[in-house]
Chain A
Amino acid sequence: MILTLERRPERSQWMAVLSPLLAVTLTAIVGAVIFAAQGIHPGRALYVYFIDPLTTSWSLEELAVKSSPLILIGVGLAVCFKAKVWNIGAEGQLTAGALAGAAVPILLPTFQSPPVLAVMIVLAIAGGALYGAIPALLKTRFGANEILTSLMLVYVAQLLLDWLVRGPWRDPNGFNFPQSAAFEGWQVLPHLGDGRLHLGIVFALVAAMVLSVVMDRTLKGFEIKVIGAAPRAGGFAGFSANRTVWFCFLLSGALAGVAGLCEVAGPSGHLQPVVSPGYGFTAIIVAFLGRLNPLGVVLAGVVLGLSYLGGEGAQIDLGVSDKTTQVFQGILLFFILACDTLILYRLRWRAAAARG
């Protein structure tokens, strides 16, 4: 008996729903095996990782704080990937948005009035979108592969940030620490409640809802789906592939820019050499786990947010390396992509004799 893949006549609807759940389950199993190999009781490890963070109201708020940038970026990437526009550089667009937005409090610390936050957000949108426009231009004008260009631009943005916070934008009263002056007053995102929860979660949920309507109900969403699924049919319908590349990069860049601003004007309140623990990359996993559906991305954002939170908990309670989080995320992406095969194919046992 050998296991073979057999193409289904149509895409399986219920596998499309089941595949992310299957991927999460398989990830948990492999994770348990890894913990057991390290001599840690797998049941306890999985509890610390995935259950413990859900048990206190403090950690639930923290979960929302971690999930909101993932959702905000993830919904933009879901639209990109639906169009088969491979924006891998959301981390760079996030950094560019954070820099553009942070320019206001750093360069004009005395600009203190209600509109300042709005100006910062608009600048962050523009910064992220413009940074996304670079790979879009290179692709539509010169045919450069956007996977490479968008990814390489991440490191450019990060080095620019690093230079700014160690150089021109360093806090003059900061004892030479590589960070900017703290944002104050109107320059900080309003908090919801008394914890660290801030306006970012609202932005994330609104973006998810709006994009859900765009993708399901509008001609624009239809255009994106068609260009991704069959570019020639898209051209036949009168849609432009280049216009779609621009739309996707500007949209996902803008959303990543907002996420970047929410990080610096929210939890941290100043610029540091590192503004994100890889949200822009993790959001790629979020987009796929959410089946490239904006509402699915909300759920997936919470799952991946949990992996960050659980990773911190595991560091403290179990004494494992903080790299464990990345291992978990990598295994999860692997299983998501593998399980998606089952939407178009089914597994069949076949008598080995049939092929001699």
Chain B
Amino acid sequence: MSTALLAAHQVSKRFGDFTAVDAVSLTLHAGEIHALLGENGAGKSTLVKMFYGSLQPTAGEILWRGAPLRVDNPAQARALGIAMVFQHFSLFEALTVSENIALALPPGPSLADLSARIEALSQDYGLPLTANQVVADLSVGERQRVEIIRCLLQEPAVLIMDEPTAVLTPQEADQLFDTLRRLAAEGCAILYISHRLAEVRALCHHATILRHGRVVADLDPAAETADSLAELMVGTSILAQDKSMSSTATDGLAVLAVRDLSVPADGPFGVALQHIDLTVKAGEIVAIAGIAGNGQSELFNTLSGECLSTPGAVTIDGQVCGDWPVSRRRALGAAFVPEERLGHGAVPDLPLSENVILTRHASDRDLARGGFVNSRAAAALARRVAAAFDVRKSRPDPEARALSGGNLQKFVIGRELDRAPRLLIVNQPTWGVDAGAAAVIRQALIALAADGAAVLMISQDLDEIFAVADRVAVIARGRLAPARPVTDISRRDIGLLMAGLPAQAAS
């Protein structure tokens, strides 16, 4: 751990008046796993993009093996030996593993040679891949392996990984950590971006913590607690969720009942829902855990009424409504928050005062009477939601696109909570949301259930599920395992279920 491979020296990046990265210094040594920690918007991605050549610093310099370096584009970075695995994969689903990898490499070896190398390398690093498999058939974890192998084929000196475990099961994550440790032992420097503190403490030798574009700490994560790291990231000690107010009654009435719900897959890359059974009672929060792309969106759309099912499959508050459209389900007292904020939960180009009408026009007679929209009532409602959930905005009534992710999510959830719904179904409530807003949102979900509403929360975040939910059910490949109390199931079992394996009976 001596040679400094890649370093940033007082690097700043400004976009107009906004300083995304402010005089940051960081040194990556050979053989080191270096964590870059920070909330959403802390400047992690901007910094990394300057290493990878997608952005150029406004001030300061990047050093490569001690000498100043200009990285004009990612191709140049790759030629130097800097490789990056992005959070969002760039794979063609209809092509095979080796075809996808061949596209990223300079032309040369035949596909057969390449396939042999891919399989050998992937075996060697414990990331087994079949070279002629079509990417569409791979799980998210396997797709990530393709991205990693694609990088390793170029024998990088520096490997940058952007939130690699966000899409993995705990078991897959463990396997990834083994691979990363081995790479580090071979002399590769790894820059590991994450906000999962436990894994950073277990894996990384060194951590640089960013907040608002500045370095706030440079430390050895193993010597810290998860709480102290979180405090450095967020700036204040974050609110622990207070579940004491949640009702302990488990004999509430079933507000949502799903019985033997099956929906065929929509298109070749969709997921079919198979025989789903689920009950959510008044006063409880039920979570659905699972890796993205295992039927969560399909389940959400079927429960909201954007997709219809057989009538008897969905019952809301005693009313059979599987073939009812979304507005009629809302009239039963149900409220929905989809995963995508922009373009699904809200219209990017419309101001907040019009976005409130989106989900409220059928349930609030005041908003649309006789076919006419009452814009004054809509504006008042938008103000009320923004005030109740502390939605920060630059103008009184901005377009939805102008809000940050956390503020828009607070608005989209607040819009539904303002109705005091009997049933709330929310998909990924704090996805891409900063820690402060996430705490507000989780507390609001707990409060809603305490008031006697039923809450169904689809989430990929196990920490969130254990902090908020009363019961958890795991979805894998369109099948839902029976829900169990969170006090009664281990993370390990959830991990096994997420991977589509049966949980071990005695855990």
With beta carbons under 8 angstroms apart, the residue of B304, B326, B358, B368 that contacts A226 is B358
Q: Are A10 and B56 in contact (CB under 8 A)?
A: no
A330 CB–B CB distance under 8 Å: no
Which residue of chain A has its CB nearest to the CB of B367? A219
Contact check, A233 vs B345: say whether CB atoms are below 8 A apart: yes
Chain A CB within 8 A of B359 CB: yes
Contacts of A237 in B (CB 8 A): 326-327, 357-359, 361
- Chain B: residues with Cβ within 8 Å of the partner, total of 37
A226 neighbours in B (Cβ, 8 Å): 347, 350, 358
Task: Report the bound CA distance from A225 to B344 in whole Å.
Answer: 14
Q: Between A and B, how many residue pairs show CB distances below 8 Å?
A: 81
Q: Do B349 and A11 touch across chains, with their CB atoms under 8 A apart? A: yes
Q: Is A222 an interface residue (CB 8 A)?
A: yes
Given the contacts A236-B304, A237-B361, A354-B56, A219 and B372 also touching, CB distance less than 8 Å: yes
CB contact list, B364-395 vs A, under 8 A: 368, 371-373, 375
CB <8 Å contact, A355 and B349: no
What is the CA–CA distance of A226 and B401 in the complex, to the nearest angstrom?
Answer: 14
CA distance A350 to B70 in the complex (A): 18
User: In this complex, what residue of B is CB-closest to A227?
Assistant: B347
Q: What is the CA–CA distance of A117 and B245 in the complex, to the nearest angstrom?
A: 73
- CB–CB A230/B373 < 8 A: no
**Of A217, A219, A232, which contacts B344 at CB under 8 A?**
A232
Which residues of chain A (141-164) have a CB below 8 Å from chain B?
none
Q: Are B358 and A236 in contact (CB under 8 A)?
A: yes
**Per-residue 0/1 for B248-273: is the Cβ within 8 Å of any A Cβ (1 yes, 0 no)?**
00000000000000000000000000
Closest to A231 in B: B343
> Which of A10, A11, A219, A232 interacts with B361 by CB under 8 Å?
A219
In the bound complex, do residue A232 and residue B343 qualify as a contact, i.e. CB atoms below 8 Å apart? yes
For the complex, what is the distance from the CA of A188 to the CA of B406, rounded to whole Å? 63
Smallest CB separation, B403 vs chain A (Å) = 10
- Assuming the contacts A229-B350, A356-B70, asked whether A220 and B371 have C-beta atoms less than 8 A apart, the reply is yes
- Tell me if B119 is interfacial: C-beta within 8 Å of chain A: no
Asked if A172 lies at the interface with its beta carbon under 8 angstroms from chain B, I say no
Contacts of B72 in A (CB 8 A): 355-356
CB distance from A70 to the nearest CB of B (A): 27
**A interface residues, Cβ below 8 angstroms from B:** 9-11, 217-222, 225-226, 229-230, 232-233, 235-238, 354-356
Please name 22 pairs of A and B residues whose Cβ atoms are closer than 8 Å in the assembled complex, sorted by A: A10-B402, A217-B372, A217-B373, A219-B357, A219-B372, A222-B354, A222-B373, A225-B350, A225-B354, A226-B350, A229-B348, A229-B349, A230-B349, A232-B340, A236-B304, A236-B344, A236-B345, A237-B327, A238-B325, A238-B327, A355-B72, A356-B70
Extra contacts, 20 of them, besides A232-B344, A233-B347, A233-B358 (Cβ < 8 A), are A9-B402, A10-B401, A10-B402, A11-B399, A217-B375, A219-B357, A226-B350, A226-B358, A230-B348, A230-B349, A235-B306, A236-B304, A236-B338, A236-B359, A237-B326, A237-B327, A238-B362, A355-B56, A356-B70, A356-B72
